[in-house]
Structure 1
């Protein structure tokens, strides 16, 4: 379980690297013209649409052949994609083809990350003691944020260590090479993992579904919809409230590229601290009340926090980033276990893929681009905060209607279908 949780470091290092390095990648692969950052974020959005497909494919593997096998294959694909990205030619070398090659490899990365999340969450939930499920499952969220912290730290160090010419010529490759080595090391460690005890139960009883997608659509429709709502809130608070922030601060002219990355480093530390605390709270008081409180916070605070970050004052920007990070970290902590608990063991990975990962593709992959376009075309710097608030208000009724989960416990089979 420790290996599964902390190996998500590499997943989020590799994936968030693209957003944290977006301004550099836009110059290297798209050029320095107007709209290059928006085009780079558009590539992220397009690639992100592959995430649900990857989740369904790897979910099928996980539900039929085991969680361990799915996680091994996904990190192997991730390793290859990172290494290939580090070796790409630039826009200065081959022109617009460089941008298309980067997009292709981001699609491969997104495909593999889609399978990574659902496999790890299911594995952790199924191995955790009943009254510690949220705390243990949230460890994957905390570990993934360590990966994001490592990503933004490596990016910031690279930007500060090199002059702009060297950074654009060859220095941008350093974070990707580091990520490829990290991913390979995780594959080696994962090869020693045991299979999930719940999947072993299914295999012994002969209840593992032969067609997981059809099984999930037939038996878990209500759970898929609830998982979609929970993940929509988690995705927009994380991707707009945390990973988009460096690009927001730089593109609005509030702060330099390097300072924006260091601010994101601090935000990642906030998430790491908040995540286990919120996970433990939901084990103590139940998932529903904690999720409702976090949704209310996401509805009332983001507009003010983006206003603080756009002010140009460092203390105010730090407060805004920290509050947004705390809300996003809290939602990720309880959301991971809450979505997984919408399904019994049979078909769980595919159910997560259909609900949680589809929501993440729509509210995570597209929203940074949408936020950037609105800011660029209207000058409305608090628009990203308004986007978070709208989703939070829309999701709140679904959260209020969630079946009550006993503290530390999972829903019954009847509840998952209702």
Structure 2
């Protein structure tokens, strides 16, 4: 696997190895913050909403609403990326993320100012959602445009793998913070530590990104004078089908990830299957599974194509998640671990092939805006909203399998589209 990654990096044309590596691994920060919020949801519900039966649902609801800002940010930053370059876009988005995370770490708590604490947290989540909109799509476009044609799947999958490293850091730091502190210290000041770490990570990424080169695809558009005057109008007018396909791919990727991975700690804790501490450590192990699976699936998509890999993953998404949630709710640590590992592998696989498959739906002109409309729009609905809906369904119905049913329904809905869509992998298309 390491030889494959090294070969992919060495064949980049027009982008240095260091620029490629910085772009791929800078997704750590985006996913660190957003998964931190979900992994830390039970703690934040006490710190900002005073605890109680509705506090966790309110915390997840705030995440869901704020996540709706992501498509707006994606369109805004996508316009910048398509008009002024991918590099400029990526610098602006991470600068805003740094400021938002630093401000979150400095917020007063519910015990200090009452309900206003929750509103301030919600406001900063909206800012974060807006800034994150420009992150993942910009990075994926940048990697795709610098990758060798026959290694696009592997190279683009590195962004997904790096994202999960960010999630691994988030769950690891969350678990360590909870484990090393008593409840009073955690609610007083300890909860700030993970957000301060995130602010430092984001600032480091900004410094590193300031050294990267511009995408060769954007240079081509400048030279040929093909940059669209209005990327939004260009994408809607010329690539509606591509936007729909990107939406479907990202819908599956989002729900498998946000319900199948990041919601799991809250599910295990609220269902009484595991303690808060144990569920966070279990999620740390699940994050490792995703990191291992992602490049493997990226290589597989290069060898056999995007279409067959997506089709198999959609079918697996329809068949397995309900059983895995039932397994995790059993109360057994071993069964919870097995269920979480299967769900993590499934989500990691969809994320890996989904990164390259969505970007390949669009030509270079207007690519980032097209991704914003399709991929990020789906993520806002099937990512940000789904943990809240999953928790609501579990509480209202009493069925532990409800979150798995949500994943299964999406898998069934997108399967026919995957069967019909054209192959986009260069060596298999045409």
TM-score normalised to structure 1 length: 0.97
| Residues 282 and 408, structure 1, Cα contact 8 Å, conserved in 2 | no
> 2:289 maps to what in 1?
270
> 2:165 maps to what in 1?
146
Shift, 1:383, TM fit: 0.3
> 1:37 maps to what in 2?
56
CA distance in 2, matches of 1:321, 1:241: 8
| Pairing 1:364–2:383 present | yes
CA distance in 2, matches of 1:32, 1:60: 41
> 1:416 maps to what in 2?
none
CA distance in 1, matches of 2:363, 2:317: 29
CA distance in 1, matches of 2:212, 2:128: 23
Shift, 1:406, TM fit: 4.2
> 2:195 maps to what in 1?
176
Deviations 1:27-58 (A, max 9, x none): 00011122100000000000000000000000
* SS of match in other structure, 1:405: coil
| Pairing 1:250–2:269 present | yes
Q: Which runs of 5+ in 2 are unaligned?
A: 1-19
Deviant stretches of 4+, over 3 Å = 406-409
- C-alpha change, 1:408 and 1:13, in structure 2 (3 Å) is farther
Shift, 1:404, TM fit: 2.3
* SS of match in other structure, 1:115: coil
Paired residues for 1:116-127 under 5 Å: 116-127=135-146
Paired residues for 1:257-296 under 5 Å: 257-296=276-315
> 1:107 maps to what in 2?
126
CA distance in 1, matches of 2:161, 2:310: 17
Deviations 1:65-119 (A, max 9, x none): 0000000000000000000000000000000000000000001111111110110
Shift, 1:218, TM fit: 0.7
| Residues 297 and 349, structure 2, Cα contact 8 Å, conserved in 1 | yes
CA distance in 2, matches of 1:150, 1:320: 21
> 1:136 maps to what in 2?
155
> 2:15 maps to what in 1?
none
CA distance in 2, matches of 1:408, 1:341: 13
CA distance in 1, matches of 2:426, 2:300: 9
| Pairing 1:320–2:339 present | yes
Shift, 1:407, TM fit: 5.2
| Pairing 1:339–2:365 present | no
Deviations 1:265-304 (A, max 9, x none): 0110000000000000000000000000001111100001
CA distance in 2, matches of 1:58, 1:209: 15
| Residues 243 and 371, structure 2, Cα contact 8 Å, conserved in 1 | yes
> 1:236 maps to what in 2?
255
| Residues 118 and 353, structure 1, Cα contact 8 Å, conserved in 2 | yes
Shift, 1:14, TM fit: 1.3
| Residues 223 and 343, structure 1, Cα contact 8 Å, conserved in 2 | yes
CA distance in 1, matches of 2:31, 2:236: 29
User: Of 300, 306, 310, which residue of structure 1 is paired with 2:325?
Assistant: 306
CA distance in 2, matches of 1:293, 1:81: 39
Deviations 1:312-331 (A, max 9, x none): 00111100000000000000
TM-score normalised to structure 2 length: 0.95
User: Of 218, 225, 229, which residue of structure 2 is paired with 1:210?
Assistant: 229
Q: Which runs of 5+ in 1 are unaligned?
A: 413-418
Shift, 1:11, TM fit: 1.1
CA distance in 2, matches of 1:15, 1:67: 22
- C-alpha change, 1:407 and 1:202, in structure 2 (3 Å) is closer
CA distance in 1, matches of 2:92, 2:322: 41
Shift, 1:380, TM fit: 0.5
| Residues 73 and 130, structure 2, Cα contact 8 Å, conserved in 1 | yes
* SS of match in other structure, 1:43: helix
Deviations 1:336-391 (A, max 9, x none): 10000000000000000000000000000101000000111111111000000000
Shift, 1:10, TM fit: 1.0
> 2:240 maps to what in 1?
221
> 1:74 maps to what in 2?
93
Paired residues for 1:10-89 under 5 Å: 10-89=29-108
| Residues 361 and 424, structure 2, Cα contact 8 Å, conserved in 1 | no
